Amino acid sequence: MTAKESNGRCPDCGEWVAIIVRAGMPAEIPPHGCRARACEYPGCPVTRFMDEMVQSASGGWHCPRHGLLLAAKDLVALYERKGEADWTAICEIIGETLPEIVKKVEAFRPFRLPERK
């Protein structure tokens, strides 16, 4: 099959990008400076712009719901650590990480189709 290069819109960020078209195949979008990220939590279909997503300390991107879940799991793990809880790390998460995640959770609006009348 012959591949042709054309232009199209990225379905995630909406930018015009070069695409590769092959007859009978879906268009392929090569990597580009996409401003959107997909949630890396297993089975989560959410893709949004970076400012709507939560980036973990390890660099992964998550929707606000899963970002909050992972932060809560980190807090529990730090609290239940053998010996003494790591209160410095717990305070950093509560004071620095959680407020931003909570803002994003409150602002997050799932895409919904308009109701039929």
Residue 14, domain extent: 1-33
Residue with tokens 């009348």: 117
**pTM exceeds 0.85 for this model:** no
- Is 29 in the same domain as 42? no
* Domain assignment present for 105: yes
Using alpha carbons, select from 65, 86, 64 the residue that is nearest to residue 76.
Answer: 86
pLDDT cut 70: percent of the chain above it: 93
CA 3 from centre of chain: 31
Residues 44 and 19 in one domain: no
d(CA 72, CA 77): 9
* Domain match, 3 and 60 both: no
Is 114 a domain residue? no
Same-domain status, 55 and 20: no
Whether 101 and 45 map to the same domain: the answer is yes
Tens of pLDDT, residues 33-66: 888 999 999 999 999 999 999 999 889 999 999 9
How many distinct structural domains can be found in the chain?
A: 2
Closest CA to 75 of 62, 61, 88, 59: 88
Are 73 and 66 a contacting pair, CB within 8 Å?
A: no
* pLDDT confidence of residue 10: 85
Identify the pLDDT of residue 89. 92
